[in-house]
Amino acid sequence: MFTLFYVLLVSSSLGISDYNIIKTFQNSYQNVWKTFEAQTKAERDLFLNESFPPSFQWATSSESFKVEGGWLEGGKGETIWDRFGHDGLAFVNQTADRACDSYHKVDYDVYLLRGLHVNTYQFSISWARIFPSGHRGSQSENGPLYYDKLINALIESGVQPVVTLYHWDLPQTLQDYGGWTNASIAEAFKDYADFCFSRFGDRVKAWNTFSSPWVVSHAGYGTGEHPPGVKDYVVASYQATHNMLKSHAEAWHVYNDKYRKVQGGKVGIALNSDWAEPKDPSRPEDIEAADRYLQFMLGWFAHPIFVNGDYPPTLKTQIENKIKDCPLSEPARLPVFTAEESQRISGTADFLGLNHYTSRLINNSVGACTPGPQGVGDFQAHVDPSWSSTASDWIYSTPWGLRRLLNYISTEYLNVTKVPIYITGNGMPTEQSGETLNDIGRIEYMKSYINEALKAIFIDGVNVQRFTVQSLMDGFEGKQAYSQRFGLHHVNFEDADRPRSPKQSAYFYSQLIKRNGFGSHEEHTFKGSVMQHIRLPTALTPSEVPTSMRLG
């Protein structure tokens, strides 16, 4: 069954066994970089007409504050994103108050999922809907009922729920005590995680403790673009990461100690990372700078959890040197883990979740005493003018970066702890108007990114078990509010009913799922995860997406 095409691709990059020889004298970044360096553009972009493994998980996602609305309903507490909207800090003063109104539309959302034929749905729980003040003493009666209803509807439809405990919407009360910079938050997060495992864990078997925690530390506490709007890349940003890592570990241990035996699920973390490519491949200092870029973004979180309970040596060295070189202006203060804390954090993930959207070209540069990753890390990030842009000023389509990043993750983090990789977020936004329903740009992006994930599995042997398209529907996209559209479904925010309409990308995705990839042979499609079409206790039929498929 292996075609000539497959053989050619394998010999043009290195086989798995060759990897191990190289690894003994190069680090993971150099190893992966060298593997792909020689590829021509044509080889790099060759399309792989093959299928995914039979039990592959196809998912789409949403996040609580982006879709739920009902911001004060059922006793929910205010969150930092509610406050952000009310303070008029989002695009044209828009708020998350009603969003997609998913709080009242469980059946409608599940109907869309059934139409897509996804076998997995990732959503996040709003901490303030469970514990309005963030602490267990404030437990809400009604909040958990919403998630019960959603989870039950998913299971009745044969869709596996994947739950994120924290996707950015901290209860405002906890923020008033310093949010992620206050070490006592780890205890509150542990209680919250414990409650969620005990309440939903009989039905939920896959948990992300955090999703894109780098964005929280970077934009929430470093640049201050996101709530809580703290602009302190010297102290607060590193503290936030430190406390999120400890919180993550506590949640994993609660599951491991109290629930794993009975519930048999998995707890991991969804980390976001770009891929980094040296700006000038002929300069070794640019290759090293690209390596540092990844260490400052992904390694900051992944190294403690997946390697040894401590920050990457590169990050520590850079910061130590900067402190020596900058006696008059402290550029960074990295908290230190005790030996006990390191031991508690190391190995606390049953999978590595990856949120990935784009790549950067990196060159070495003198960061001097400027705080923040570029200054402290001595690198600069650039984009190539030939890369396709999107409605987001940071997302450029560079699908080949995903394959390289997956190879890097596999060698850097998963060579000892052999846990699987789940791609927990990939997608792109379009403008508010323009490619509203006929979103060919999104289809092109999805097709090429999914194909690169397939190459990482099929050719490179990387253990990727899930692909999640961000998002099920348009929503409140943070600072950009409703002006950036990530959805497979369009949402009309002018209409109080918030009607959802499938975009062309929804038809494309459902067809891809039915074929289980891009294989031409009929026989190996969609074996392991046949959908059960159990009727929901509602009049709604499945969404018309699969039956009125319009794409060949």
Ligand X SMILES: *[C@@H]1O[C@H](CO)[C@@H](O)[C@H](O)[C@H]1NC(C)=O
Least distance from ligand X to the Cβ atom of residue 495, Å: 20
Least distance from ligand X to the Cβ atom of residue 412, Å: 5
Candidates 350-358, 410-418, 523-531, 543-551: pick the segment binding ligand X (CB under 6 A): 410-418
Q: How far is CA 237 from CA 100, 251, 311, 424, in A?
A: 31, 21, 14, 24
Interface positions, 445-504, toward ligand X (CB under 6 A): none
Is 5 among the residues that bind ligand X (CB under 6 A)?
A: yes
What is the rounded CA–CA span in Å between residue 376 and residue 332? 7
Is 380 among the residues that bind ligand X (CB under 6 A)?
A: yes
What is the rounded CA–CA span in Å between residue 354 and residue 272? 6
Interface positions, 126-145, toward ligand X (CB under 6 A): none
Is 93 among the residues that bind ligand X (CB under 6 A)?
A: yes
Instruction: Between 289 and 506, name the residue whose CB sits nearer to ligand X.
Output: 289
Report the 10 Å Cβ neighbour count for 198: 13
Candidates 137-145, 199-207, 363-371, 505-513: pick the segment binding ligand X (CB under 6 A): 363-371
The set of residues, in sequence order, having a beta carbon less than 8 Å from that of 341 and lying 6+ positions away, is 246, 309
Is 313 among the residues that bind ligand X (CB under 6 A)?
A: no
Candidates 23-31, 235-243, 262-270, 288-296: pick the segment binding ligand X (CB under 6 A): 23-31
Q: Extract the tokens encoding 492.
A: 């009309």
Instruction: Between 43 and 431, name the residue whose CB sits nearer to ligand X.
Output: 43
Angle 106-116/504-515 helices, nearest 10 degrees?
60
Cis peptide bond N-terminal to 228, omega within 30: yes
Is 328 among the residues that bind ligand X (CB under 6 A)?
A: no
518 CB burial (10 A radius; 0-12, 13-18, 19+): middle
Is 363 among the residues that bind ligand X (CB under 6 A)?
A: yes
Number of chain positions touching ligand X (CB under 6 A): 22
User: Which string of x and - marks every residue 278-297 that binds ligand X (by CB under 6 A)?
Assistant: -x------------------
Least distance from ligand X to the Cβ atom of residue 285, Å: 8
Least distance from ligand X to the Cβ atom of residue 243, Å: 11
Report the 10 Å Cβ neighbour count for 256: 13
Least distance from ligand X to the Cβ atom of residue 380, Å: 5
Q: Extract the tokens encoding 388.
A: 């396709």
Least distance from ligand X to the Cβ atom of residue 382, Å: 6
C-alpha count within 13 angstroms, C-beta hemisphere, residue 60: 26
Which one among 88, 461, 499, 537 touches ligand X, defined by CB under 6 A? 88
Interface positions, 144-183, toward ligand X (CB under 6 A): 177-178, 182
Cis peptide bond N-terminal to 471, omega within 30: yes
Least distance from ligand X to the Cβ atom of residue 88, Å: 4
Least distance from ligand X to the Cβ atom of residue 36, Å: 18
Is 45 among the residues that bind ligand X (CB under 6 A)?
A: no
Q: Which backbone phi and psi does 87 adopt, to 5 degrees?
A: -80, 5
Q: How far is CA 145 from CA 117, 150, 512, in A?
A: 25, 9, 34
Q: Which residue carries 């993550």 as its tokens?
A: 248
Instruction: Between 5 and 530, name the residue whose CB sits nearer to ligand X.
Output: 5
Q: Extract the tokens encoding 97.
A: 């108050």
Is 26 among the residues that bind ligand X (CB under 6 A)?
A: no
Three-class DSSP category at 261: helix
Instruction: Between 178 and 420, name the residue whose CB sits nearer to ligand X.
Output: 178
Least distance from ligand X to the Cβ atom of residue 528, Å: 23
Which one among 4, 21, 328, 416 touches ligand X, defined by CB under 6 A? 416
Interface positions, 245-284, toward ligand X (CB under 6 A): 279
Q: How far is CA 191 from CA 177, 243, 250, 446, in A?
A: 17, 15, 9, 38
What is the rounded CA–CA span in Å between residue 266 and residue 209? 11
Torsion angle in degrees (nearest 10) through CA of 372, 373, 376, 377: -170
What is the rounded CA–CA span in Å between residue 181 and residue 335? 11
Instruction: Between 107 and 280, name the residue whose CB sits nearer to ligand X.
Output: 280
Instruction: Between 77 and 115, name the residue whose CB sits nearer to ligand X.
Output: 77
Which one among 7, 8, 34, 47 touches ligand X, defined by CB under 6 A? 47
* Cβ pair 128, 56 in contact under 8 A: no
Is 521 among the residues that bind ligand X (CB under 6 A)?
A: no
Which one among 26, 55, 142, 184 touches ligand X, defined by CB under 6 A? 184
Q: Extract the tokens encoding 434.
A: 């323009």
Torsion angle in degrees (nearest 10) through CA of 64, 65, 66, 72: 110
The binding site for ligand X (CB under 6 A) comprises 5, 23, 27-28, 47, 49, 88, 92-93, 177-178, 182, 184, 279, 363-365, 380, 382, 412, 415-416
